[in-house]
């Protein structure tokens, strides 16, 4: 059921905060505008994938970073009218550091270019076989960077051809009404006109049931929390 839901959603995905950040304090809303804010609670822990050591590293301590599994993306299943008219094309960074993609989850709008710098002292080869964006950047050394523009909405799973334990998720949204949780699990989605909305949460492993809210004609700041399990 979850896969079916995601497939339907990704044809009209929302737009996101590109990296976890502190939730701003409550502020006055424009007349008729609404906001949804809240917290995502992780009811169980997820372990990072095991690293497969190279022969030259046997007996040596691990230095890689563990992917941050406590990040979720909150989004509107259906965006309000006019949300698809904005076609910005920013550039954001998905780093390769200590044999890990940083951040592990990245949410962007369609038309965004993602830079993949190599900050390690080894070669990397970023690629994806995901239908929304297939690419293979080839091997490149430390200090180098290559980029990819993501024009189609969907979920793109990213890997390194050299290091099998490296992976990341890029969520490409067709509209801008989404947000990534910060270190405390908080999120905020602003600029909502009056209407009914179904709010959903995406996580690589855990799940939560979508919830429906209504922004009244006079606008309001709504509280909506989720439990992931």
Mean pLDDT by groups of 10 residues along the chain of 229 residues: 41 38 43 86 68 50 64 92 64 96 96 97 97 98 97 97 96 95 96 94 96 92 96
How does pLDDT run across 125-170, given as a tens digit for each residue? 999 999 999 999 999 999 999 999 999 999 999 999 999 999 999 9
Query: How does 158-194 read in b/e, with b if 16+ C-beta sit within 10 Å?
Result: bbbeebebbbbbbbbbbbbbbbbbbeebbbbbbebee
Containing domain of residue 158, as a range?
Answer: 2-20+32-44+66-228
Q: Is residue 50 part of a domain?
A: no
Q: Is residue 167 part of a domain?
A: yes
What confidence score (pLDDT) does residue 70 get?
86
Q: State the Cα–Cα distance between residues 143 and 55, nearest whole angstrom.
A: 24
If you write DSSP's letter for every residue of 160-195 in order, what string do you get?
ESS-TT-EEEEEEESSS-EEE--TTSEEEEEEEPSE
Q: What is the CATH number of the domain that holds 144?
A: 2.60.40.420
Please state the pTM of the whole predicted model: 0.78
Q: Is residue 6 part of a domain?
A: yes
Q: Is residue 215 part of a domain?
A: yes
What confidence score (pLDDT) does residue 166 get?
95
Q: Is residue 26 part of a domain?
A: no
Tally of domains in the chain? 1
């Amino acid at each position: 059921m979850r896969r079916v839901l995601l497939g339907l959603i990704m044809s009209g995905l929302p737009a996101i905060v590109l990296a976890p950040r502190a939730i701003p304090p409550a502020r006055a809303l424009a007349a008729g505008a609404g906001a949804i804010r809240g917290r995502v609670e992780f009811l169980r822990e997820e372990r990072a994938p095991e690293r497969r050591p190279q022969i030259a590293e046997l007996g040596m301590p691990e230095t890689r970073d563990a992917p941050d599994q406590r990040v979720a993306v909150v989004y509107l299943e259906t965006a309000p009218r006019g949300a698809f008219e904005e076609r910005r094309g920013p550039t954001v960074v998905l780093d390769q550091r200590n044999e890990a993609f940083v951040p592990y989850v990245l949410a962007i709008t369609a038309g965004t270019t993602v830079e993949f710098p190599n900050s390690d002292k080894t070669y990397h080869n970023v690629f994806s076989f995901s239908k929304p964006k297939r690419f293979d950047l080839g091997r490149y050394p430390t200090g180098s960077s290559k980029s990819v523009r993501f024009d189609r909405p969907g979920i793109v799973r990213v890997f390194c051809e050299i290091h099998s334990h490296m992976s990341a998720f890029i969520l490409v949204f067709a509209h801008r009404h989404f947000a990534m949780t910060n270190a405390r699990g908080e999120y905020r989605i602003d600029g909502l006109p009056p209407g009914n909305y179904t709010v959903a949460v995406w996580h690589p492993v855990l799940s939560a049931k979508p919830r429906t809210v209504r922004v009244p004609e006079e606008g309001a700041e709504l509280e909506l929390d989720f439990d992931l399990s």
